[in-house]
C-alpha cells in the first residue's frame, strides 16, 4: 500500500521566473475585439489573460536551456553551437544532412522550392496550413489522405492521425510520376493533434519503397506522437521514447521541423535529409533566404537552447505530465457537455464548434463565433481551425471546411492547473451562451492565409 503510485500527476518542475498576467474587464475586451476586427491574431497579447492561441514558440524554457544560451557562439561560419545542435538532432533523427532554419515554414519553403512545381502532387495525412501554402506556392497541389476516422470528431480510434494507406496507394498507382515525395505529419495538428502509429508509418514506408518515393516527416510534435505510441500501440509500452523516435526517423528519408514545438524553443527549425544532391540544392536556397548553413537564420545561442530542449522533451516524466495535463482539460470539458474532439490530442483540446453552435452555418463561421466568445467571456485566446482557416479555395470561392474546430493549444510548461481550472470555468459559461452566439461575416481578407489578417463583423 505504502508503495502504491500516487494518482496526482504533478508538473515535474517548479517555477523559477514569473511573468505577470493582466486582468481586463468584459467591457474592455469588447473594445479590444472591435479594434482587432474580431480577429484574435490582431489582439495585443497583453490584453489576453490565458493565451491558448498556439503551443508554438510559447513554451517556458528550462534553467538548463537558459544556461545553454550562455554557451552560444555567434561565429558566422562553423560555430561550435551548430555542432552541439546537429549532434542533439542526430541523436534522435540520424539523417545525413541537418540544415537549421528560423522556423518550420522556412524548411517547407526550401524543400518544396526544390521538390514542388506545377503538375506535382504532395500527399500528407493532413497538411498544416503553412505546409499546404508552401506546396501550393510552388505550383504543386497538396492532398490530405488521413483515415476516415481522422475526419470524425468522435471516433475513438487510437491513431486518428494515420494515413489512409489504400488512398495513398491509389494516388501513387494513378500519378506516381507527379509525386515528388510523401509527407506524414506527427502528430496530425490540423486533425486534432492526433498521433500516427508505428504500424501505419511502416505501411507508408512500404508503399513509398514500392514506388521509389522519399518519405518526409513533418515532425513538430514527434515526442508527443512517440509517447502516444508507447501508451497505445501493442508491444511499445516498455520502450524508451527516444528509441521510438529513432525508429520513426529510420523509416523516413528526411524531415521538416518547427523547433518551436516539441524542441522547446521560442524560435527555430530544421530541414534534414539523406539525399546529398537535394541537400546541396536546399543549402543553396538557404544561403539566399536564411543564412549560412551553420546558422540558417538562427543565433548560435538559439541552437544551444534547442539542443538542450531536445534532451528534455523526450523525458518520460515530462511527457506523462504533458499528455495528462492536456487530457485533464479535455476530460473536464467532456464532463461539462462541451463537445470536443476525442480522443484528446497531445498539444491541444479542440472544441467542436459545429456541435456547440449548430444554429450557425459554416459560412457564418461557428469556430470564429466560439473563439471570439471565449475571449469576450474570459480573456482566453484560442484559434479557429475551420472554414475561416481552410474555406477559401485557390479559385477564390468558398467551401465549408470538413470540421469547425476551436483549438485550445497548451504552451509547454507555461500554465498551472489553476489556470486550466479557470479555462474550464469559462468554457462552462460559454456552453450556456452558445445557442445565442452571433455568426460572423468577413469584411476584408488577403488572398492567402486569410485567418491571420482578415477582419470580421458580427451578424447581429
Residues at the contact surface with ligand F0G, assessed by CB under 6 A = 54, 56, 103-105, 128, 130-131, 185, 189, 218, 220, 258, 260, 269
What is the rounded CA–CA span in Å between residue 68 and residue 87? 15
Q: How far is the C-alpha of 408 from the C-alpha of 373, rounded, in Å?
A: 13
Residue nearer to ligand F0G on the CB measure, 32 or 261? 261
The smaller minimum CB distance to ligand F0G, of residues 329 and 434, is found at: 329
Residues contacting 45, CB < 8 A, separation 6+: 51
Q: Which of 24/138 has CB closer to ligand F0G?
A: 138
Where do runs of H (alpha helix) occur along 179-299? Answer: 198-211, 222-232, 241-250, 276-289
Cis peptide before 140 (omega within 30 of 0): no
Of 265, 306, 221, 258, nearest to 60 by C-alpha is: 265
3-state SS class at 256: strand
- Of residues 180 and 268, the one with the C-beta less far from ligand F0G: 268
Q: What are φ and ψ of residue 229, in 5° steps? A: -60, -45
How many CB atoms are closer than 10 A to CB 19? 6
Residue 103 C-beta: closest distance to ligand F0G, Å: 3
Closest separation between CB of residue 457 and ligand F0G, Å? 25
Task: Write down the least CB distance from residue 452 to ligand F0G, Å.
Answer: 10
Closest CB to ligand F0G among residues 391, 439: 391
The least CB distance from residue 268 to ligand F0G, in Å, is 8
CB half-sphere exposure, 221, CA atoms < 13 A? 33
In the complex, least distance from residue 361 CB atom to ligand F0G, rounded to whole angstroms: 26
Q: How far is the CB of 388 from ligand F0G (least distance, A)?
A: 14
Minimum distance between the CB of residue 124 and ligand F0G, rounded to whole angstroms? 9
Tell me which H or E stretch contains 387: helix 387-390
For ligand F0G, which is the closer residue by CB, 104 or 343?
A: 104
Residue (110 or 220) nearer to ligand F0G, CB = 220
Please provide residue 371's backbone torsions phi and psi, each rounded to the nearest 5 degrees. Answer: -65, -40
The C-alpha cell of 67 is what? 544556461
Closest Cα to residue 404, out of 444, 343, 451, 455? 451
Report the distance separating Cα 324 and Cα 344, nearest Å. Answer: 10
Quote the least distance from Cβ 386 to ligand F0G, whole Å: 14
Tell me the residue ranges of DSSP E strands in 297-447: 348-352, 380-381, 383-385, 405-409, 440-444
Cβ(267)–Cβ(69) under 8 Å? no
387 vs 401: CA distance, rounded Å: 5
CB of 128 to ligand F0G, least distance (A): 3
Amino acid at each position: 500500500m505504502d508503495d502504491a503510485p500516487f494518482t496526482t500527476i504533478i508538473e515535474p518542475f517548479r517555477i523559477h521566473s514569473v511573468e505577470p498576467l493582466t486582468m481586463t474587464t468584459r467591457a474592455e475586451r469588447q473594445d479590444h475585439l472591435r479594434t482587432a476586427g474580431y480577429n484574435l491574431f490582431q489582439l495585443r497579447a497583453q490584453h489576453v489573460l490565458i493565451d491558448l492561441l498556439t503551443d508554438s514558440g510559447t513554451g517556458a524554457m528550462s534553467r538548463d536551456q537558459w544556461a545553454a544560451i550562455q554557451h552560444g557562439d555567434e561565429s558566422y561560419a562553423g560555430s561550435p553551437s551548430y555542432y552541439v545542435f546537429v549532434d542533439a538532432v542526430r541523436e534522435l533523427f540520424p539523417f545525413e544532412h541537418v540544415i537549421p532554419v528560423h522556423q518550420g515554414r522556412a524548411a517547407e519553403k526550401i524543400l518544396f522550392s526544390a521538390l514542388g512545381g506545377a503538375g506535382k502532387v504532395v500527399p500528407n495525412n493532413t497538411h498544416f496550413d503553412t505546409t499546404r501554402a508552401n506546396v501550393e506556392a510552388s505550383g504543386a497541389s497538396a492532398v490530405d489522405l488521413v483515415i476516415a476516422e481522422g475526419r470524425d470528431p468522435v471516433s475513438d480510434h487510437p491513431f486518428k492521425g494515420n494515413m489512409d494507406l489504400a488512398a495513398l496507394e491509389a494516388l501513387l498507382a494513378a500519378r506516381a510520376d507527379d509525386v515528388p515525395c510523401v509527407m506524414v505529419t506527427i502528430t496530425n495538428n490540423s486533425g486534432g493533434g492526433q498521433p500516427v502509429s508505428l504500424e501505419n508509418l511502416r505501411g507508408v514506408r512500404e508503399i513509398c519503397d514500392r514506388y521509389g518515393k522519399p518519405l518526409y516527416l513533418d515532425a513538430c510534435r514527434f515526442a508527443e506522437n512517440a509517447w502516444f505510441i508507447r501508451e497505445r500501440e501493442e508491444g511499445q509500452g516498455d520502450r524508451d521514447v527516444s528509441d521510438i523516435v529513432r525508429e520513426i526517423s529510420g523509416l523516413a528519408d528526411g524531415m521538416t521541423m518547427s523547433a518551436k514545438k516539441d524542441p522547446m524553443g521560442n524560435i527555430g527549425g530544421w530541414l534534414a535529409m539523406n539525399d546529398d544532391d537535394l541537400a546541396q540544392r536546399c543549402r543553396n536556397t538557404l544561403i539566399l533566404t536564411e543564412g549560412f548553413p551553420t546558422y540558417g537564420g538562427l543565433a548560435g545561442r538559439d541552437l544551444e537552447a534547442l539542443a538542450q530542449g531536445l534532451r528534455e522533451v523526450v523525458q518520460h516524466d515530462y511527457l506523462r505530465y504533458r499528455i495528462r495535463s492536456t487530457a485533464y482539460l479535455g476530460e473536464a470539458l467532456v464532463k461539462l457537455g462541451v463537445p470536443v474532439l476525442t480522443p484528446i490530442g497531445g498539444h491541444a483540446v479542440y472544441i467542436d464548434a459545429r456541435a456547440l453552435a449548430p444554429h450557425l452555418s459554416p459560412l457564418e463561421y461557428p469556430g470564429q463565433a466560439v473563439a471570439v466568445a471565449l475571449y469576450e467571456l474570459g480573456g482566453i485566446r484560442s484559434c479557429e481551425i475551420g472554414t475561416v482557416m481552410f474555406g477559401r479555395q485557390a479559385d477564390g470561392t468558398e467551401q465549408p471546411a470538413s470540421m469547425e474546430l476551436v483549438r485550445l493549444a497548451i504552451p509547454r510548461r507555461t500554465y498551472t492547473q489553476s489556470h486550466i481550472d479557470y479555462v474550464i470555468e469559462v468554457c462552462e459559461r460559454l456552453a450556456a451562451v452558445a445557442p445565442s452566439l452571433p455568426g460572423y461575416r468577413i469584411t476584408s481578407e488577403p488572398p492567402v492565409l486569410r485567418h491571420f489578417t482578415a477582419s470580421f463583423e458580427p451578424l447581429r
